[in-house]
Amino acid sequence: MCSAIHQPAADTTADACPGMPHRRVLVAVDGSDQALSAVKLVAGMARAMPLDVTLLHACPSADEWASTLPILSPSPEAFLSRARVIGQELLHRYRRLFPRTCHVEEILTAGSPSTHIVRAAEAWHADLIVLGVHGWDPSFGERLGNTAAFVARRAPCPVMTVHSRQPAAKSSRGHSAWPALRPEVE
Amino acid sequence: MKNHPDQARKDYAAPGLSTRQPPERPDRTRPQPGTEDAGITKWPAVRRILVAVDGSEPSTWALDSAAALAARLEAQLAVIHVSEHPDPWDRSIPSDVSAEVLARLARRVPAPLVTMLLASEGEAASRIVDAAREWPADLVVIGGHARGRLTHLAPLGSVAEYVIRHSPCPVTTIMRPPAGQVRGAASERAAWPATWAGSGG
């Protein structure tokens, strides 16, 4: 139960604010519905304010292939090459959602997404990290995902977490870029 | 088998099938080839920002960050403070605690920016989510700070994690001071009624 105790006239023409607006935004994407929602949100912000945007996608590494993915592809080289192609296509597709006036960079890497996101944010001096949230733990049920929790704890800047409230989001937990590989290996 | 989004869009465009696909369903996220922005008429806009505050330093950073973003996006800014009951058996908390905290914090940001100050009592996390749902907010900004022995379960703090998981809109978690702001400089915590300072993060 909330009570509004003060409601002045809405006039948002303020100049002096103690905080810095977000100018350099790092968006971590993985092909999930949540990532798409995050990109759409930042693209909408880029239409209202000048932003420098970096899109980051982390492909699975050879170590991850060895531990979890041999069942999908017998050859690590073929799998990783395919993952890179899909990651590049993903970044290109998301990049086209931004207005032409927005400067957008792409980072395609391999390995742990959370580590790369934090390192990229530090190296690029990001003002804001935006990423989708799709965590689930068998012990605790739905909770903050490992990547989002790690990034929010270690990030050098504020972290914006975006849910996708679409029903399809419930089926896209985990590394959602991987299902895109399946049609070729099935 | 579930239809592919592209297929759904084709179905929607086909005559006679429009009643099966409501108008709000077509996917506007993919631009037409070669036209980029053309055809995309609706983007998620941040018009209403809800910032949750308590007496903590991260919540002050959250307020500063939200105010700067609201000024840049010309968005409405609402500030909410939730007074939690420190003793579940003692409900005699003065109702003006939230008002005092909010009034003190509201002075940090230019007055025209703040659209609404919300004072609430009860469980902070659910109150913040309820307020975000009822306003409705396009973005929630909250300070994150884990306390106690369960920080490995809720590294951002239990309130921030609850809000992230249940908020109907995106949530920005602030755990560091904004660029150019030194840790500790923004804190006025000692001057606040720490006993009743609710949770904003």
**Top-confidence range, A90-104, A156-170, B78-92:** A90-104
Average pLDDT over residues A180-184: 37
Contact yes or no for B49/B66 (Cβ under 8 A): yes
Half-sphere exposure of A133 (CA within 13 A, CB side): 30
Quick one: pLDDT at residue A73? 64
Q: What is the DSSP string of A2-65?
A: EEEEE-----------SSPPP-EEEEE--SSHHHHHHHHHHHHHHTTS--EEEEEEEE--HHHH
For B74, the 3-state DSSP assignment is coil
pLDDT digits (tens, 9 = 90+) for B56-91: 888 888 998 898 888 888 899 999 988 876 655 655
Q: Which chain B residues touch A21 with a CB distance below 8 Å?
A: 68-69, 71-72
Residue with tokens 């006036």: A101
Distance CA B77, CA B62 (A): 12
Test A12 with B112 for CB contact under 8 angstroms: yes
pLDDT surpassing 90 at residue A25: yes
Q: What is the mean pLDDT of chain A?
A: 74
Average pLDDT over residues A50-69: 81
Q: Nearest-CA distance from B43 to chain A in Å?
A: 5
pLDDT surpassing 90 at residue A122: yes
Banded pLDDT at A29 (limits 50, 70, 90): very high
pLDDT surpassing 90 at residue A53: yes
Q: Which residues of chain B have pLDDT under 50?
A: 1-41, 185-201
B76 Cβ contact list (under 8 Å, min separation 6): A10, A12, B47, B48, B49, B70, B115, B116
Which residue, among B4, B28, B32, B43, would best test binding to A if mutated, counting the most A CBs under 10 Å from its CB? B43
| Interchain contact A167–B (C-beta under 8 A) | no
Average pLDDT over residues A108-119: 90
Nearest Cβ partner for B165 among A10, A13, A142 = A142
A185: left (phi over 0), alpha (psi -120 to 50) or beta: alpha
* Main-chain dihedrals φ then ψ at residue B53, nearest 5 degrees: -130, 150
Q: What is the pTM of this model?
A: 0.72
The pairing of strands A159-162 and B171-174 is antiparallel
Q: Which chain A residues touch B127 with a CB distance below 8 Å?
A: 1-2
Among chain B residues, the shortest Cα distance to A45 is held by B45
B108 versus A84: the higher-pLDDT residue is: A84
Contact yes or no for B71/B110 (Cβ under 8 A): yes
Dihedral angle of Cα B62, B63, B65, B68, to the nearest 10 degrees: 170
